[in-house]
């Protein structure tokens, strides 16, 4: 065995295109005869066909290659050649072949049920599909950070164990906190982020949020990654602009970075381009009801928009849309009452195109302590538990607002996935918390 092995990734080896290279990875496919063996090798960067001839590598190495199982890990030395018949256009003529880790018979092969793949999620992550999604996911997280830092925001962290609800008691996960009651997993960073704008003014985070969602839908997880921002002195319109800005930046970065992955996922990139090119349509809740009525859907004023209504709206546009000024009764206690109409709030939902539903929810924040207390009471909450939060309105309160973006919902949309579960490595839902 050579000692001066300098490994290239498969992508680097393909870029080099000729000469002798060392590569390493996992056996993705294998077939062959007793003299000639074809192994398609996979690493994080790509796959490549490797040809192993007994006459070249000798009996001992060929013997190992001949018995190799899918997903065994190997190191290979050979000559790169262009070959239009090979799956990725290149072939490696193998000169040396070394087994690193043998593999038991890999449980995942073709046509397995969704349940089986979910049970074997730890192995399914190696699939071409999941690898592509995970790369795009990495781009999305990077783009969110980049956008907010570019705009002068500080990264800031709220606790995950929280003592109050933010988004309604019905989806709270209560934890056994040393037998103490009233400790919950975070639904949102927001109530612990607002106190920090008095120090940092512009802040953001990407953190897990938890919702005890009893619905089994293609858009709900019980644990999801939540990108949130909060900004002092910001107007409602400025908050909405950041929503549009960060979504555009995400799509831009994915289109720049992940063309190969989008191809593997068979994503029609034309469907993403309008998001970059066009301003997003804005409409009020009232406008939305008029549009829905034209499409045969009667929504009684004061009812929240349901999935079916969001889907009808979303299919009318090729970019996300911003729906504003929802009835106060359907929105969270902290959203600012519209000074022009006390029945609605300065809240916004961004609804993704192609039926991907609500991808961002945000608002300007109510400044009036009495109004906040009344709305907490109307929700069955004891305002006393919120004293620390109400202090944000007592000591130099300023206009401010923010939003939260469901990162997996955005990834599902960008990747064109059927289900949000494939946007996260180990999805958690009401019925799935293992492995
Ligand atoms: O609309 P939501 O509930 O808003 C908040 O939590 C605010 N406190 C955010 C803020 O202003 N800082 O949630 C925000 C977003 C939704 O628009 C949706 O994209 C996503 O979080 N989301 C979920 N994603 C996956 N699974 C779930 N169960 C989700 N619930 C909400
Ligand atoms: Mg919402």
Q: What are the extents of the domains in the chain?
A: 10-101, 118-423
How far apart CA 165 and CA 168 sit, in angstroms, is 6
350 CA closest ligand 1 atom index: 17
Tens of pLDDT along the chain (435 residues) come to 555 789 999 999 999 999 999 999 999 999 998 899 999 999 999 999 999 999 999 999 999 999 999 999 999 999 999 999 998 999 999 999 999 999 999 999 888 899 999 999 999 999 999 999 999 999 999 999 999 999 999 999 999 999 999 999 899 999 999 999 999 999 999 999 999 999 999 999 999 999 998 888 899 999 999 999 999 999 999 999 999 999 999 999 999 999 999 999 999 999 999 999 999 999 999 999 999 999 999 999 999 999 999 999 999 999 999 999 999 999 999 999 999 999 999 999 999 999 999 999 999 999 999 999 999 999 999 999 999 999 999 999 999 999 999 999 999 999 999 999 999 999 999 999 999
In the chain, what are the helix, strand and coil shares in percent, each to the nearest 5? 35, 25, 35
Chain centroid to CA 117: how far? Answer: 20
Residues shown for the chain:
435
pLDDT of residue 3: 58
Give the DSSP letter string of 379-430: TT--GGGGHHHHGGGTSS---EEEEEEEHHHHHHHHHT-S-GGGGSSS--BT
How far apart CA 35 and CA 195 sit, in angstroms, is 71
Distance 63 CA to ligand 1 centre (A): 55
- Are 324 and 348 a contacting pair, CB within 8 Å? yes
pLDDT of residue 216: 83
How far apart CA 255 and CA 262 sit, in angstroms, is 8
Residue nearest to atom 31 of ligand 1 (CA): 406
CATH of the domain spanning 118-423: 3.30.930.10
Residue nearest to atom 3 of ligand 1 (CA): 167
410 CA closest ligand 1 atom index: 19
In short, whether 404's Cβ falls inside 6 Å of ligand 1 is yes
Ligand 1 mutation pick, 224, 356, 365, max ligand atoms within 8 A of CB: 224
Distance 405 CA to ligand 1 centre (A): 6
In short, whether 206's Cβ falls inside 6 Å of ligand 1 is no
Q: CA nearest 361: which of 394, 309, 410?
A: 410
Distance 2 CA to ligand 1 centre (A): 54
Distance 305 CA to ligand 2 centre (A): 10
pLDDT of residue 109: 84
- Give the CATH superfamily of 10-101: Nucleic acid-binding proteins (2.40.50.140)
In short, whether 247's Cβ falls inside 6 Å of ligand 1 is no
In short, whether 348's Cβ falls inside 6 Å of ligand 1 is no
Distance 135 CA to ligand 2 centre (A): 27
In short, whether 188's Cβ falls inside 6 Å of ligand 1 is yes
pLDDT of residue 110: 81
pLDDT of residue 111: 82
Number of Cβ atoms within 10 Å of the Cβ of 121: 16
Q: CA nearest 96: which of 74, 68, 77?
A: 77
Give the residue carrying structure tokens 């009232």.
Answer: 286
In short, whether 400's Cβ falls inside 6 Å of ligand 1 is no
Residue nearest to atom 14 of ligand 1 (CA): 404
């Amino acid at each position: 065995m050579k000692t001066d092995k300098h490994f290239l990734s498969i992508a680097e080896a393909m870029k080099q295109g000729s000469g002798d290279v060392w590569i390493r990875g996992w056996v993705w496919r294998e077939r062959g005869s007793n003299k000639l063996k074809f192994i398609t090798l996979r690493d994080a960067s790509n796959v490549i066909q490797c040809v192993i001839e007994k006459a070249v590598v000798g009996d001992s190495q060929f013997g190992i290659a001949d018995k190799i199982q899918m997903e065994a890990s190997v190191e290979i030395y050979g000559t790169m050649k262009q070959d239009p018949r090979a799956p990725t256009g290149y072939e490696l003529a193998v000169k040396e072949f070394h087994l690193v880790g043998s593999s038991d018979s890999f449980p995942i092969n073709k046509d397995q049920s969704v349940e089986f793949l979910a049970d074997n999620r730890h192995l399914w992550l190696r699939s071409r599909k999941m690898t592509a999604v995970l790369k795009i996911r990495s781009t999305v997280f990077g783009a969110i950070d980049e956008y907010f830092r570019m705009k002068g925001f500080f990264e800031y962290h709220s606790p995950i164990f929280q003592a109050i609800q933010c988004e309604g008691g019905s989806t709270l996960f209560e934890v056994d906190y040393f037998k103490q009651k009233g400790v919950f997993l975070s639904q949102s960073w927001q109530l612990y982020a607002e106190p920090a704008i008095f120090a940092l003014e512009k802040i953001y985070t990407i953190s897990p949020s938890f919702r005890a969602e009893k619905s089994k839908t293609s858009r709900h997880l019980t644990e999801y990654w939540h990108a949130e921002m909060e900004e002092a002195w910001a107007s409602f319109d400025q908050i909405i602009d950041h929503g549009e800005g960060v979504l555009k930046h995400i799509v831009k970065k994915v289109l720049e970075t992940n063309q190969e992955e989008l191809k593997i996922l068979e994503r029609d990139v034309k469907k993403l381009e309008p998001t970059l090119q066009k301003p997003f349509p804005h409409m009020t809740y009232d406008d939305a009801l008029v549009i829905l009525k034209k499409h045969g859907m009667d929504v009684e004023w004061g009812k929240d928009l349901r999935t079916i209504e969001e889907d009808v709206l979303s299919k009318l546009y090729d970019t996300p849309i911003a729906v504003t000024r929802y009835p106060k009764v359907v929105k969270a206690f902290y959203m600012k009452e519209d000074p022009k109409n006390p029945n609605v709030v300065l809240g916004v939902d961004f609804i993704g195109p192609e039926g991907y539903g609500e991808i961002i929810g945000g608002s300007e924040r109510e400044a009036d302590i009495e109004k906040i207390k009344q709305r907490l009471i109307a929700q069955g909450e004891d305002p006393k538990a919120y004293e620390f939060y109400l202090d944000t309105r007592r000591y130099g309160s300023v206009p401010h607002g923010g939003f939260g973006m469901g990162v997996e919902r955005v990834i599902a949309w960008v990747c064109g996935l059927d289900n949000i579960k494939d946007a996260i490595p180990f999805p958690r839902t009401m019925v799935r918390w293992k492995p």
